[in-house]
């Protein structure tokens, strides 16, 4: 059996086919899926998806591109859910203009 360790099921690109993908995964030999959030909105959606689907787990986090629009306290609350198994999007992206802001945010 396989584990998909990095899926962005809650991406807006997949919005119209999300349910179809969930159904396919439920009926396949994929044992588990780690659905990764890139910001507060998709981290919350990833967690809710994992609560509804036994094969799914959630990786929450905030990609460095989104540090200016996030409420880190809410992310801390999500982290206590049993279906959240990892922090999946953290770190620094030195190619972006907000590098100093990213460093400050990562320290939090």
Q: For the chain, give every domain's residue range.
A: 2-107
Q: Helix 72-79 vs helix 40-52: angle between axes, to the nearest 10 degrees? A: 20
Cα–Cα distance for residue pair 8/79, rounded to 1 Å? 18
Query: According to the model, what pLDDT value does residue 75 have?
Result: 86
3-state secondary structure of 59: strand
Residues 21-33 have pLDDT tens digits of 777 777 777 788 8
Class level of CATH domain 2-107: alpha beta
Position 108 confidence tier, pLDDT thresholds 50, 70, 90: low
Which of the two residues, 73 and 65, has the higher pLDDT score? 73
Spell out the SS3 assignment of 87-99. EEECCCCCCCCCH
Tell me the whole-structure pTM to 2 decimals. Answer: 0.72
């Amino acid at each position: 059996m396989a584990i998909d360790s990095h899926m962005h099921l809650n991406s807006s690109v997949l919005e119209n086919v999300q349910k179809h993908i969930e159904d396919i995964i439920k009926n396949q030999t994929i044992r588990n899926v780690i659905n990764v959030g890139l910001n507060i909105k998709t981290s919350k959606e990833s967690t809710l998806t994992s609560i509804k689907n036994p094969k799914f787990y959630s990786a929450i986090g905030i990609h460095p591109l989104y540090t200016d629009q996030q409420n880190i306290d809410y992310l801390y609350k999500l982290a206590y859910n049993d279906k959240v198994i990892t922090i999946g999007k953290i770190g620094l992206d030195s190619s972006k203009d907000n590098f100093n802001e990213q460093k400050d945010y990562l320290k939090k």
